[in-house]
Chain A
Amino acid sequence: MSSKDNILKAIRNQFVESVPLPSLDQDWIDYEDRVAHFAETLESVGGAAHVVQSMEQVQEILSQVPQYADAKKCVSTVSGISANVDLNTIGDPHELEDIDFAVLQGQFAVAENGAVWITDRDVKHRVIYFIPQYLAFVVHCPGDAASAIVSNMYQAYEQIKLTGEAEFGAFISGPSKTADIEQSLVIGAHGARSLHVFLVENQTP
């Protein structure tokens, strides 16, 4: 008998009372001001949120950010943001090791934990979310900024529609961090050393 059959048989031989699967649709927290709560939470985990009205404004703010302004190599997957490395011309993801700054598309944001949902759909190398020194996400909001922010994780998963094909997605909340040396928080463990999130209002995706 294969190990698979062995294991399944061992499990099925155990008598375990079955209990029903609980409903996930409960009275979860709803924030009155999702934008403020998201910004506050993101800040508490080391990131920064910006509500803006246009892509020009994103570019303007970015230009004030020294890490972007001084970046030698920059990737952008968001139209309207200038960059000098085109992800699609890169064959081997290892070549991205010296990317200083990346501006990437975020899908929507979560107020309760400051996270942004990202996917690698239409992104040639998923390592671009993890390898740059500094990172910015741009989230297009169909209406005001709150229209792209859900209150809690239950609502967040209601938004996620998987394709059924191989794909990668992640909630990313703030820059990379560690507290493994004496519980002292250090920002910039392996991934990005900083994270800006731009919520661009009234954008048709």
Chain B
Amino acid sequence: MSSTQDHPAKAKAFVANNERAHWHDKALWFVREKRDRMANSLPEWETLREVASEIKSHTIGKLADYLEQFEENATKLGVHVHWAKDDKEHNRIVLEILQSHDVKRVVKSKSMLTEECHLNPFLEKHDIEVIDTDLGERIVQLRDESPSHIVLPAIHIRKEEVSETFEEHLGTEHGNSDPKYLTEAARGHLREKFLGADAGITGVNFAIAETGGIVVCTNEGNADLGVSLPKLHIACMGIEKIIPRLNDLSVFLRLLARSATGQPITTYSSHFHGPLTGGEMHIVLLDNGRSDLMGSNEFRNSLKCIRCGACMNTCPVYRRSGGHSYSTTVPGPIGSILAPAMDSKANKSLPFACSLCGSCTDVCPVKIDLHHQLLTWRGELRKRGQLPIDKWLPMKVGSWVMRSPSLFAMVGSIGRFFLRNMPRWMIYHGLNSWGKQRELPEAPKKSFRQLYNEQQKNKPQAGDKNNE
């Protein structure tokens, strides 16, 4: 099993660079504000969210039927449909298709699912070159990192660092960190890759049961270039990407880009119904734990996610701790629900990477009750005996103390005495996580109860006055 991922430890490393942490925070808040402007420009925003949520609920309830319908219709269009139970089977299927076409070079557009399956290293092991063509993904690929955000993969990287990376790999000018110049260099570099590719792999934003088509959304046009030059197109999707009707897209496309980056729609919303003339198209449907998640009344809603990233942009914890601190393919609020569902022990710190402010729930375009689910996870971890000691011990002691008023009063006075009189090292240490970046307030000499009782005693009797 994977090792335990500790969000606080990784977040600590991120916030150690104060300047970068603030810059990251601001960059994401900027995107969140753009999203707000877009949402506010449509009077029907709340109706859209409601309808989107209902479509997804309905679809999950009839998912098996819709998957079969999708397969049937896609097959009629000449598409080869494959089913994969888990990541291993997914990767094997993709490899077999590529090998049977003698493919050596693949261009791939953004797909969180192939990240989830670790497809790139798997194909590279079999001597197939995989080039990520989304600019942000290409940057992290060249730096041998993973994306830190599902929509903005390189949001954690400064332009000066991109400049260094491009100087090393693409031979750009030393010290030139102008985004325009760097983008132009990447355009030239990736054009060559597009022209040299034997196959293109894309993710899938939506798959339409009624028509057998898939929709892929990008701003750069990289998915389209990648699958319009070579004859082979492989699209990889989770089984939850299905929607029933073509016109359901009207709801989702109106929500997706507005929520993600504050654009009215992505530049390209491409509808693939079958292969290129003379070409071949494959669609791989992946389960990998999704059908298990369907069985959970508490967490089923997380399958509605359309991966817009809005919950990350708005999350105060994500913005200040960076995507990599989650150690998961999908970080942020939604990732902190999905990851424990796959492995609750390894990801037990994630449901606590949340202040329960509820901002994620407010912005989610498909109305997932994110912060409620995170809270539910905490209870679930307790039931499974996976709560870390600094979470359950204070709670237990606290509840015991609060049940007895006299004990509560006594502990309170001891606490106040200690806070006022003990040396710093006895108060600010490893066990006091609250004191790590904050100062505790100065402890008053008297408790609220003492002050109240004193006041009551000294108060002139109001009733007496009135009677005079």
Contacts and interface: CB of A to CB of B under 8 A. Distances in A.
Contacts of A168: 270-273, 276
Contact of B274 (A11, A26, A167): A167
A21 B154 contact: no
B274 A166 contact: yes
Interface string B185-218: 0010011001100000000000000010100000
A2 B265 CA distance: 39
Contact of B224 (A24, A130, A179, A188): A130
B83 interface: yes
Contacts, number: 248
Contacts of A21: 54-55, 58, 244-245
A110 B194 CA distance: 30
Nearest to A181: B179
Nearest to A93: B229
A94 B229 contact: yes
A130 B228 contact: yes
Contact of B267 (A6, A156, A172): A172
Contacts of A18: 58, 61-62
Interface in A1-47: 2-4, 6-8, 10-22, 24, 26-29, 41, 44-45
Interface stretch (A63-71, A76-84, A111-119, A196-204): A111-119
Contacts of A176: 219-221, 267-268
A165 B276 contact: no
B239 A181 contact: no
Contacts of A12: 64
A147 interface: no
Contacts of A15: 295
A191 B58 contact: no
Contact of A157 (B44, B180, B246, B267): B246
Contact of A153 (B67, B225, B254): B254
B305 interface: no
B228 A126 contact: yes
Contact of B183 (A4, A24, A154, A189): A189
Interface in B217-272: 219-222, 224-225, 228-229, 239, 244-251, 253-254, 261, 263-272
A14 B229 contact: no
Contact of B291 (A7, A28, A183): A7
B58 A190 contact: no
B360 to A, nearest CB: 20
Interface residues of A, number: 76
B275 A166 contact: yes
Contact of B220 (A4, A13, A17, A177): A177
A110 B277 CA distance: 28
Interface string A156-196: 11101010111111111111111111111010111110000
A28 B44 contact: yes
A189 B222 contact: yes
A90 interface: no
Contacts of A53: none
A152 interface: yes
B317 interface: no
A127 interface: yes
B222 A190 contact: yes
B263 A45 contact: yes
Interface in B58-98: 58, 60-64, 67-68, 76-78, 83-85, 89
Given A173-B265, A186-B179, A186-B183, A152 B250 contact: yes
A138 interface: no
3 pairs of A and B residues whose beta carbons are closest in the complex: A166-B274, A191-B221, A180-B136
Interface of A: 2-4, 6-8, 10-22, 24, 26-29, 41, 44-45, 93-94, 97, 110, 112-115, 125-127, 129-131, 152-154, 156-158, 160, 162, 164-184, 186, 188-192
Given A153-B249, A166-B77, A167-B274, 16 more contacts: A7-B67, A7-B83, A8-B67, A12-B64, A18-B58, A19-B57, A27-B47, A45-B263, A125-B228, A127-B228, A130-B225, A131-B225, A153-B253, A165-B273, A173-B266, A190-B221
